[in-house]
């Protein structure tokens, strides 16, 4: 770590007692694919109700961190803990109750193409929560769609939706299982600044209303500025910064300054209405 504040923050991970431990802890986590070391001794934590934004350029391991937390990948070294429980060596069966508390919103939405929006959101209600009362399912689906501002898409198939609307529906489906932690993988890719702003407002709204903990992988600094309590900046697989947003923006680290200067350029946006 290049920053004294970062070192002190990360040292706190190892000194806190189990009862006080943050809901998510990565401690000296490394992951390589063959000779490609994607993450190198990365440490960070997230307290309940906080929003962490993982920033960095493409290919630095941002999305890999999410997949490690979900148990889709296993770290080569280090410790990953969820609510005080080490998850590194858990079996698929042992990971099931953890995955009921953590959900992930994928970049492509991962909706079922053959199901309507209503049926997509109802799916986890039936499969994971065992709900059978159709009136209750309908009421829950309608509530979730209203929450994300997509109630007019209830009968639509995913193929007919814009990118922004697909992601809103994917968030509604993720919330159907009533998770404690939501992971977002590049939620603003391929959407215009207006939709990006709406996505940030929605994530913040969910935090305020339900106390959700969020981890957001993004390369979009403007998006991060709208909602981050904490920032993890990855550069060449290493955590160059972990700490409050203000400290990140004010950092003199040359890699961070380069990232911020590149993000400041105004690029042509793709107009995708939500």
Sequence length of the chain is 274
* Strand bridging mode 51-55 / 213-217: parallel
What does the DSSP assignment read for 6-75? HHHHHHHHHHS-GGG--SEEEEEEEEEETTEEEEEEEEEEE-TT-EEEEE-STTSSHHHHHHHHHTSS--
Per-residue pLDDT of the chain (274 residues; tens, 9 = 90+): 444 344 444 444 444 444 568 999 999 999 999 999 999 999 999 999 999 999 998 777 899 999 999 999 999 999 999 999 999 999 999 999 999 899 999 876 678 899 999 999 999 888 877 788 899 999 999 999 988 888 888 899 999 988 888 888 999 988 888 899 999 998 888 778 888 888 888 899 889 988 999 999 998 898 999 999 999 999 999 999 999 999 999 999 999 999 998 765 454 444 444 4
Query: Which stretches of 87-220 are DSSP H helices?
Result: 92-99, 117-127, 134-148, 163-176, 193-210
**What's residue 202's pLDDT?**
87
Rounded distance between C-alpha atoms, residue 38 and residue 65, angstroms: 10
Stretch (H or E) spanning 85: strand 85-86
Instruction: Give the residue extent of every domain in the chain.
Output: 112-178
The distance in angstroms from the start CA to the end CA of the chain is: 39
What pLDDT was estimated at residue 124?
A: 86
- What local confidence, expressed as pLDDT, does residue 2 receive? 46
Of 214, 209, 210, the C-alpha closest to 182 is: 214
Model pLDDT, residue 5: 45
Strand duo 238-244 + 230-235: pairing: antiparallel
């Amino acid at each position: 770590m290049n920053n004294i504040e970062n070192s002190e923050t990360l040292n706190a991970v190892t000194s806190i007692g189990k009862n006080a431990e943050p809901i998510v802890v990565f401690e000296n986590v490394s992951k390589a694919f063959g000779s490609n070391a994607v993450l190198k001794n990365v440490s960070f934590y997230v307290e309940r109700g906080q929003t962490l934004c993982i920033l960095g350029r493409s290919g630095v391991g941002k999305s890999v961190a999410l997949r490690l937390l979900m148990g889709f990948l296993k770290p080569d070294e280090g410790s990953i803990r969820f609510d005080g429980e080490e998850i590194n060596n858990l079996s698929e069966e042992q990971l099931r109750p953890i995955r009921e508390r953590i959900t992930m919103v994928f970049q492509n939405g991962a909706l079922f193409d053959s199901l309507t929006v209503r049926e997509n959101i109802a799916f986890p209600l039936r499969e994971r929560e065992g709900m059978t009362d159709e009136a209750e399912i309908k009421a829950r689906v309608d509530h979730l769609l209203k929450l994300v501002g997509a109630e007019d898409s209830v009968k639509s198939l995913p193929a007919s939706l814009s990118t922004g609307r697909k992601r809103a529906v994917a968030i509604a489906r993720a919330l159907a299982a009533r998770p404690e932690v939501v992971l977002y993988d590049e939620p603003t890719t391929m959407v215009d600044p207006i939709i990006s702003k709406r996505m940030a407002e929605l994530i913040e709204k969910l935090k305020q209303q339900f106390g959700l903990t969020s981890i957001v992988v993004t390369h979009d600094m403007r998006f991060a500025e709208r909602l981050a309590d904490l920032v993890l900046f990855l550069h060449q697989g290493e955590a160059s910064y972990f700490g409050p947003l203000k400290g990140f923006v004010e950092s003199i680290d040359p890699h961070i300054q380069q990232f911020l200067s590149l993000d400041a350029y105004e690029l042509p946006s793709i107009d995708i209405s939500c």
